[in-house]
Amino acid sequence: GEFVSTHNETIPMMLPAVMTCTEGNKTYKIGEKIVHGCEEICMCGDDGIAKDCKPRCTGPYVRAGRGPQDPLCGEQHVDSDGCCAVVVCSDSAVEPEETCFFGNKTLMRGQRIEDGCSQICTCEAGGHLKCTPRCRPNDTDSSNNQHDRCVALTDPR
């Protein structure tokens, strides 16, 4: 076997050429937090580039204005600059705007009412009354004008 020994050589220590990160007109020190608006937070890396970027708002928080589009939910801001919010939903209890009016009757959300022989109406979210015909137009077009649920009758008047 051969034995290789290392020589004591002095190598000049090179200091990093970049000691800061520059973004726009701002300068950050290495390790300093860089905030990109409401989008993300990064760290100034030793190579002068923003690294380890993470979303500004992480669960249970959402970016303000991007919460679910649910009429029973709203956003509550959790930071001073209004970037992040928590979604708060009320229960599905019937509220005044969850009622529908049909003639002189008041219906609660989910309640059904029959409008004579012509239609069935259901009260839906937001006070919307959805009505559908009791018999589809072609349900009475069989050869003898009879159907198991819909029967065409002549008007007795």
Say yes or no: 106 and 132 in one domain: yes
Q: pLDDT higher for 13 or 115?
A: 115
The answer to whether residue 9 is domain-embedded is: no
Say yes or no: 128 and 109 in one domain: yes
Percent of the chain predicted with pLDDT > 90: 18
The gap from C-alpha 109 to its chain's centroid, in whole angstroms, comes to 24
The answer to whether residue 144 is domain-embedded is: no
The answer to whether residue 4 is domain-embedded is: no
What average pLDDT does this structure show over 76-96? Answer: 75
Least confident of 20-34, 94-108, 118-132: 94-108
Say yes or no: 111 and 83 in one domain: no
pTM of the complete model: 0.42
The answer to whether residue 7 is domain-embedded is: no
Say yes or no: 86 and 101 in one domain: no
Which two three-digit tokens encode residue 119? 């239609």
Cα–Cα distance measured from residue 58 to residue 62, given in angstroms and rounded to the nearest whole number:
6
Say yes or no: 105 and 128 in one domain: yes
Note the pLDDT tens digit of each residue in 114-124. Answer: 888 888 999 98
The answer to whether residue 83 is domain-embedded is: yes
Place of tokens 């009758």: 153
Q: Which domain holds residue 51?
A: 20-55
Say yes or no: 133 and 115 in one domain: yes
Note the pLDDT tens digit of each residue in 25-59. Answer: 899 999 999 998 899 999 999 888 899 999 988 88
- Dmax over CA atoms of the chain, in Å, equals 122
Fill in the DSSP letter of residue 89.
E
The answer to whether residue 101 is domain-embedded is: yes
Q: Best-predicted range by mean pLDDT among 13-17, 25-29, 114-118, 150-154?
A: 25-29
Q: pLDDT higher for 148 or 46?
A: 46
Q: Do residues 73 and 87 lie in contact, with contact meaning Cβ atoms separated by under 8 Å?
A: yes
The answer to whether residue 131 is domain-embedded is: yes
Residue 90 confidence class, pLDDT cut points 50, 70, 90 = confident
pLDDT of the residue at 147: 47
User: What is the overall mean pLDDT for the chain?
Assistant: 78
The answer to whether residue 143 is domain-embedded is: no
pLDDT of the residue at 72: 77
pLDDT of the residue at 137: 66
Say yes or no: 49 and 68 in one domain: no
Structural domains of the chain, count: 3
